[in-house]
Amino acid sequence: NAGVTQTPKFQVLKTGQSMTLQCAQDMNHEYMSWYRQDPGMGLRLIHYSVGAGITDQGEVPNGYNVSRSTTEDFPLRLLSAAPSQTSVYFCASSYFMGGTPETQYFGPGTRLLVL
């Protein structure tokens, strides 16, 4: 089991560019989510999905798009990068139990710098 994998590990973008952060898991987890981590602010939820074809917004969704066409993959798209999106991005996945939140497994993160 590779667990949760994220690519790339590091990316530099110019303002206005677009890109996709990749996330994949091989644990057959229904629930997947994207967080951003900023100093002194902990992790904040961007978008999440409870299964293929189902996504919803989290706490800070503006400027990001997601889709979930398969159980394994949950890419995060930056439509037009802004310096405020400079952050470390984490993808996470877990089982969906419908009553009790299960442990979320995190990927190693993608460091994004927007100039």
Stretch that binds another protein, among 13-21, 64-72, 73-81, 88-96 (CB under 8 A): 88-96
| Apex 42 CA angle, 21 and 27, nearest 5 | 50
Gap between the Cα atoms of 100 and 75, Å rounded: 26
Q: Does 99 bind another protein (CB under 8 A)?
A: yes
Instruction: Give the single-character DSSP code of 88.
Output: E
Q: How many residues does the chain have?
A: 115
- Residue nearer to another protein on the CB measure, 58 or 75: 58
Query: What are the residues binding another protein (CB under 8 A)?
Result: 4, 31, 33, 35, 40-45, 48, 50, 54, 56, 58, 90, 92, 94, 96-104, 106-109
